[in-house]
């Protein structure tokens, strides 16, 4: 996507073909820094410590993590161990496991070292291109939903509420939840986004607001608890979120707090759509609440908040120092609360039948 006139992605392979470069998202929006990954351990740290985050980007970073491992050593035992360590970096986004498995089956199909390196590079680039195109198509398929609301409002402003960051920073291009918003803006639709700040790490107020602002999309940052009030007062036309893992039955895990937005949307008759590429479906889990692993992160992320003080990034403590905190990073919105999924193949109902109708290769 364009930032200040320059095309930029959150990850790319350097010209030396030995270094993967990423935007360090921990520092945005106040500092723009590029970090270099040279080993699989660097990729693991970048995923675990959230230099990169968002399901599709976690997958792409993991793919390049496998590539960096193959550059170091092409032996099966080393590679299987590296792949397992990369997969363990974060538990919820299934794109991580999907990408590593795809990389490993491509790599082991070659039996000489040079062939393995070539296969790893080709496959990581392929996964990157696949995710960029998926998000473009999510925009194409999501646009009619926003167009329809705009038409019903006689061309009046369409208010979309989103949670966390499911934008291009979380993907490669366009984003998932934001792709239809960008497509609507390009189509001349008057669109405005309510951006949940998304505690504790504020991916909404730091990242989504930055992305939308750079693109010139009208947006307003709100507290995580404001959505229900706005919905009751007719100020939200549609909720549009991403997901880290969605079961083949339509239960969608996303950033903590998404479930509460879905409940409020249902109570107020507001459409609640989840946008995702096929790489985010989990074809093995039936019951999302019981089966999707929910990451619990360091409680310090809840207790401390970072921001700009003067011209310095600073971290401050909010609760009493000795108060315990808990940091559940995701929750699961059951399929019954989801109005539909926007995927690269089209929009479907949130049910096994709807999902497998679009992806029949996973059984009927
Ligand atoms: O903890 P994060 O920042 O990785 O969580 C990201 C989200 O919850 C996104 O909404 C999700 O990954 C979808 S990204 C297109």
What is the rounded average pLDDT of the residues 259-281? 98
pLDDT at 2 over 90: no
Q: Confidence class of residue 348 from pLDDT cuts 50, 70 and 90?
A: very high
Q: Confidence class of residue 364 from pLDDT cuts 50, 70 and 90?
A: confident
For 245: left if phi > 0, alpha if psi spans -120 to 50, otherwise beta; the answer is beta
- Ligand 1 nearest-atom number relative to CA 330: 8
Residue nearest to atom 6 of ligand 1 (CA): 54
What is the rounded average pLDDT of the residues 225-237? 98
Is the Cβ–Cβ distance between 63 and 43 less than 8 Å? no
pLDDT at 12 over 80: yes
- Ligand 1 nearest-atom number relative to CA 90: 4
pLDDT at 1 over 90: no
Residues comprising the chain, all counted: 364
pLDDT digits (tens, 9 = 90+) for 64-95: 999 999 999 999 999 999 999 999 999 999 99
pLDDT at 346 over 80: yes
pLDDT digits (tens, 9 = 90+) for 149-200: 999 999 999 999 999 999 999 999 999 999 999 999 999 999 999 999 999 9
Residue nearest to atom 15 of ligand 1 (CA): 166
Residue nearest to atom 5 of ligand 1 (CA): 54
Distance from the alpha carbon of residue 57 to the mean position of ligand 1, in angstroms: 9
State the DSSP H helix or E strand holding residue 219, giving kind and residue range, or none if neither: strand 218-222
Q: What is the pLDDT of residue 114?
A: 98
Distance from the alpha carbon of residue 112 to the mean position of ligand 1, in angstroms: 37
Question: pLDDT averaged over the chain?
Answer: 98
pLDDT digits (tens, 9 = 90+) for 23-42: 999 999 999 999 999 999 99
Q: What is the pLDDT of residue 4?
A: 87
pLDDT at 50 over 80: yes
pTM over 0.95: yes
Distance from the alpha carbon of residue 312 to the mean position of ligand 1, in angstroms: 27
Closest by alpha carbon to 192, among 225, 149, 144, 152? Answer: 149
Distance from the alpha carbon of residue 108 to the mean position of ligand 1, in angstroms: 30
- Ligand 1 nearest-atom number relative to CA 58: 4
Cα dihedral: 101, 102, 103, 109 (round 10): 100
Q: What is the pLDDT of residue 30?
A: 97
Distance from the alpha carbon of residue 176 to the mean position of ligand 1, in angstroms: 10
- Ligand 1 nearest-atom number relative to CA 164: 10
Q: Which of 203, 260, 332 to mutate to test the pocket of ligand 1 (most atoms within 8 A of CB)?
A: 203
- Six-digit token pair at 78? 């080393």
Distance from the alpha carbon of residue 116 to the mean position of ligand 1, in angstroms: 31
What is the rounded average pLDDT of the residues 92-101? 98
What is the rounded average pLDDT of the residues 274-300? 98
Q: Which of 25, 28, 54 to mutate to test the pocket of ligand 1 (most atoms within 8 A of CB)?
A: 54
Is the Cβ–Cβ distance between 72 and 40 less than 8 Å? yes
- Which domains, ranges and CATH numbers included, belong to the chain? 2-130 (1.20.120.420), 141-362 (3.40.50.10470)
Q: Catalytic residue among 42, 224, 244, 331, which?
A: 244
Protein residues whose CB sits closer than 6 Å to any atom of ligand 1: 53-56, 93, 164, 166, 170-171, 175-176, 203, 242-244, 254-255, 329
Task: DSSP for 239-253, please give it.
Answer: EEE--SEEETTS-EE
Q: Would you call 244 a catalytic residue per the annotation?
A: yes
Is the Cβ–Cβ distance between 251 and 292 less than 8 Å? yes
- Ligand 1 nearest-atom number relative to CA 163: 10
Q: Confidence class of residue 282 from pLDDT cuts 50, 70 and 90?
A: very high
Residue 19 contacts by C-beta under 8 Å, 6 or more apart in sequence?
13, 36, 37, 38
Distance from the alpha carbon of residue 152 to the mean position of ligand 1, in angstroms: 31
Is the Cβ–Cβ distance between 301 and 201 less than 8 Å? yes
- Ligand 1 nearest-atom number relative to CA 254: 8
State the DSSP H helix or E strand holding residue 146, giving kind and residue range, or none if neither: helix 113-152
């Amino acid at each position: 996507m364009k930032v200040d006139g320059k095309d930029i992605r959150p990850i790319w392979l350097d010209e030396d073909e030995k270094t993967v470069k990423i935007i360090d998202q921990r520092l945005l929006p106040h500092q723009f820094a590029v970090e270099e990954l040279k080993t699989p351990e660097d990729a693991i740290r970048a995923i675990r410590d959230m230099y990169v985050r968002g399901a599709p980007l976690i997958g792409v970073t993991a793919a390049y993590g496998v590539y960096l491992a193959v550059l170091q050593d092409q032996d099966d035992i080393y590679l299987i161990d590296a792949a397992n360590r990369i997969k363990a970096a974060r538990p919820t986004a299934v794109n991580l496991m999907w990408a590593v498995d795809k990389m490993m089956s491509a790599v082991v199909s070659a039996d000489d070292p040079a062939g393995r390196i070539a296969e790893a590079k080709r496959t990581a680039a392929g996964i990157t291109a696949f995710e960029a195109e998926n998000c473009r198509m999510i925009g194409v398929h999501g646009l009619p939903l926003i167009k329809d609301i705009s038409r019903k409002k006689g061309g009046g402003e369409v208010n979309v509420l989103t949670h966390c960051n499911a934008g291009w920073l979380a993907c490669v291009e366009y984003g998932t939840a934001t792709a239809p918003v960008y497509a609507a803006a390009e189509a001349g639709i008057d669109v405005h986004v309510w951006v949940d700040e998304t505690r504790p790490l504020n991916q909404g107020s730091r990242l989504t607001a930055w992305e939308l602002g750079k693109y010139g999309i009208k947006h307003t940052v709100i507290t995580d608890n404001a959505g229900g009030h706005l919905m009751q007062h007719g100020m939200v036309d549609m909720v549009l979120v991403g997901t880290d893992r969605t079961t083949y039955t339509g239960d969608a895990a996303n950033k903590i707090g998404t479930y509460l937005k879905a409940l409020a949307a249902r109570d107020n008759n507001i459409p609640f759509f989840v946008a995702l590429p096929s790489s985010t479906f989990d074809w093995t889990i039936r019951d999302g609440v019981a089966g999707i692993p929910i990451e619990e992160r360091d409680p310090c992320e809840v207790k401390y908040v970072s921001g700009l003080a003067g011209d310095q990034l600073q971290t401050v403590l909010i609760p009493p120092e000795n108060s315990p905190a808990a940091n559940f990073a995701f929750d699961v919105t059951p399929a019954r609360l989801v109005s539909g999924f926007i995927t690269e193949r089209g929009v479907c109902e949130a049910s096994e039948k709807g999902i497998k109708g679009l992806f029949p290769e996973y059984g009927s």
